[in-house]
């Protein structure tokens, strides 16, 4: 058995996926990821909490070699990177019961073709006794599917949180140990996966605030032996607070939009506003998503391609619309060759953003004196709006 002890009878038995560089065929994983699974041996019953990505099912089963019995396979979330090895585990332990939330049952049947007779659902707040250890299930919907829940073990004050409070990284350290790199990975994870569900997360954080927590054991990344740090960080990220910051994702084809972005960003800085630029031809979209966690304003820079935005800008706009950052203001700058509808066509891609559009500066060809004056005015307006917040 390859098991790392967390507490007496509680072991980490998951997988480090050092080489994975993309999740959901979309999200960059600069440091790989892990699929954490936990073995809990109580005095009467034994449980595994979450499994691993099915690509690693054989290694996972090997990790558990020597385990003589398994009573429960607890599934906090139905997405395949955690549930995908349940069928392999059931082959080894056909008598084990799969425990999940009421909404997860249908998903497990549909995604994994599990036999409904092997699944037992638990209600919000219900407990399962393993003898000297108890697991209480707390529904925490939308972190990040509707069926997600966490499990709390009061005897050891451990919160098993699955994706919630997790981070994509592979590593040899079992715990975060206060490492800022773990917090950055957690912020990236929040930005890419959790951010659209801020309202639900606020409710979930209030629920877990009622618990005494010594360790948070997520299903990606290191365990938090400083749980207050990640819980407080989430509380900040989901709060309405925004920073005096403008994020500018942009593309330039022949240089005129790039010159506008350069001039405009310097005007913003001159007016006391923090700026983060993202040339979308070379941007790690995870870094862009992180910048959007607390930016007050988004300014999109795009040249015109067949009257609309550059397709790479359109792609970034669709992504921003999906992750729903809490920005309060937006604007657009850019250029065109002979005709344009770049502003209307780009803003139409952002219906989920609850922003006040402060204006646009779109010039024909190179920016002229009047265009530069408009950029100066837009920078001043943004700075004034930020001061009002």
CA distance linking residue 37 with residue 60, whole number of Å: 9
Smallest separation (angstroms) from ligand FEO to the CB of 163: 4
What is the torsional sign of CA 313, 318, 323, 325?
positive
Nearer to ligand FEO, 201 or 331 (CB): 201
Task: Pick between residue 220 and residue 310 the one whose CB is nearest to ligand FEO.
Answer: 220
CA distances, 60 to each of 31, 54, 140, 223 (Å): 21, 9, 26, 19
Q: How far apart, in whole angstroms, are the C-alpha atoms of residue 187 and residue 173? A: 19
Query: Phi and psi (nearest 5°) for 361?
Result: -130, 105
Q: Give the binding site for ligand FEO (CB under 6 A).
A: 77, 79, 81-82, 144, 163, 219-220
- Strands 158-162 and 149-153, bridge-based pairing: antiparallel
Q: Which is nearer to ligand FEO, 75 or 345 (CB)?
A: 75
Least separation in angstroms between CB 277 and ligand FEO:
31
Q: State in Å, rounded, how far the first CA of the chain is from the last one.
A: 55
Distance CA(357)–CA(342), nearest Å, equals 14
CB of 24 to ligand FEO, least distance (A): 9
What minimum distance in Å lies between the beta carbon of 349 and ligand FEO? 25
Q: Which residue is nearest to ligand FEO (CB)?
A: 79
Q: What are phi and psi of 309, to 5 degrees?
A: -75, 160
- State the nearest-atom distance from the C-beta of 297 to ligand FEO, in Å: 30
CA atoms of 139 and 157, how far apart (whole Å): 17
> CA angle at residue 24 from 28 to 82, to 5 degrees?
110
Say how far apart CA 386 and CA 242 lie, in whole Å. 9
State the minimum distance, in angstroms, from the CB of residue 329 to ligand FEO.
31
């Amino acid at each position: 058995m390859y098991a790392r002890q967390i507490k007496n009878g509680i072991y980490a038995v998951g997988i480090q996926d050092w080489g994975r560089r993309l999740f959901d065929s979309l999200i960059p994983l600069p440091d790989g990821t892990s699929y954490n699974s936990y073995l809990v041996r109580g005095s009467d019953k034994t449980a595994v909490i979450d499994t691993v990505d099915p690509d690693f099912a054989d290694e996972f089963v090997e990790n558990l070699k020597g385990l003589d019995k398994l009573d429960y396979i607890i599934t906090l979330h139905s997405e395949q990177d955690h549930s995908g090895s349940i069928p392999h585990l059931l082959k080894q332990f056909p008598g084990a019961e799969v425990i999940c939330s009421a909404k997860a049952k249908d998903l497990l049947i549909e995604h994994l073709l599990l036999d409904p007779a092997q699944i037992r659902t638990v209600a919000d707040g219900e407990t399962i006794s393993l003898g000297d250890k108890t697991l209480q299930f707390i529904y925490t919907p939308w972190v990040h599917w509707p069926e997600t829940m966490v499990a709390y073990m009061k005897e050891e004050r451990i919160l098993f949180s699955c994706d919630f409070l997790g981070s994509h990284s592979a590593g040899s350290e079992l715990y975060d140990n206060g490492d800022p790199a773990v917090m950055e990975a957690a912020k990236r994870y929040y930005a890419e996966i959790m951010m659209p569900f801020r309202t639900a997360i606020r409710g979930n954080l209030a629920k877990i605030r009622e618990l005494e927590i010594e360790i948070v054991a997520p299903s990606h990344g290191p365990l938090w032996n400083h749980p207050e740090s990640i819980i407080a960080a989430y509380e900040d990220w989901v709060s309405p607070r925004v920073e005096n910051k403008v994020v500018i994702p942009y593309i330039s084809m022949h240089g005129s939009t790039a010159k506008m972005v350069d001039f405009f960003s310097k005007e913003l800085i001159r007016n006391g506003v923090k700026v983060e630029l993202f040339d979308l031809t070379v941007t790690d979209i995870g870094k862009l998503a992180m910048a959007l966690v607390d930016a007050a304003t988004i300014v999109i820079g795009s040249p015109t391609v067949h009257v609309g935005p550059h397709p790479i800008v359109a792609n970034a706009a669709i992504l921003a619309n999906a992750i729903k950052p809490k920005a309060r203001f937006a604007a657009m700058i850019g250029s065109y060759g002979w005709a344009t509808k770049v502003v209307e066509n780009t803003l139409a891609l952002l219906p989920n953003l609850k922003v006040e559009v402060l204006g646009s500066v779109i010039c024909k060809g190179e920016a002229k004196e009047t265009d530069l004056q408009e950029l100066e005015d837009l920078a001043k307006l943004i700075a004034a709006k930020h001061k009002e917040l």
